[in-house]
Every structure is written in structure tokens, then in C-alpha cells.
Structure 1
Amino acid sequence: MPEIIIDLSQLFDDNAKLSEFDTYIQKAKELAGEGNNIILTGAAPVWLYLKIAHALHGKARKLIYRSPVIGDVVIFDHSPD
């Protein structure tokens, strides 16, 4: 299964804005594709991580948050393995 890394800091310039939320969601969905293992990483506000994770539920097979401090944290895993 492909593993796709989405660096949330690349979705916006300078500061993330709530007014641009739909754009961030669309970009993340395009990058994620369907049924892939997704890793979210990068400097971004917590609200953006939460909203992107929610938007990818049902699209991603597995979602991981990659922390620079503690490593990978599985958010959800819908693989039959």
C-alpha cells in the first residue's frame, strides 16, 4: 500500500487561515488519494491537523501523525491486517 506524506506546513504561506480551510482540505484530499496510508507532519496549527484528519477519514486506509519528538502516532487504521 502506498505511503503518502503530507506536510501540512506546505498547504499555506506564513500562517494558516480559517478562511482558507476549504482550500487546505481540497489540497490534502488530492494528495491523499483513495485507500492509501497517509502520514501527516509539519508545523501547522492543531485545528488544521484535526480538521484534515477528520476529512481524510473514509479516504485513507491508515492515518499517522509523525511527531518530531516521539515519532509516529497511529490516528486510525482500517487495514484488515
Structure 2
Amino acid sequence: MRYVIVASLMLTGLGGCASTGANVTGNEVGVTVNNVWNRNEAFPKADEHCRKFGKVAKPAAGDGEYAFSFECVKPDA
């Protein structure tokens, strides 16, 4: 029983190591989203950034382990 309690406390402590949120860096040409697990998690944040410039996010090359790059392009008519 003692090991169960210790394991539970350790897992609870690991919850504090969870992601603190995505970091979005970019301009009207492109954007990088890091501190996310995958491109699907990064895309909405990149698209939100690009929409500030009247554009949409398009995946670009140059992905890192937890960083994903997008181009900001004009939407198709």
C-alpha cells in the first residue's frame, strides 16, 4: 500500500511538468509554434497568427522535435 501512495504522489508531481502552453513566434510571412506535441496541435495556433494578417497557415519544412513551421499565405478564392 505504501508503494501505491508513493507512486501516486510521484505521478501527481509529474503533472507539474506538463506543457505550459505553446510559444508562437512569427510575422506576416511565417510562424513557428513550439512547445507542442505534434503538427495537429500547432496548426490552430499558427492559423490564428496568420489570420491577423489576412492569411492562412500552410505547413512548411523545418520541423524540430517539438517545433513546427508554417508559411502565412493568402487564402484561395
The reply to whether TM is greater than 0.5 is: no
TM class by shorter chain equals 0.3 to 0.5
Select the structure with the greater relative contact order (CA < 8 A; seq sep ≥ 6): 1
Larger radius of gyration: 2
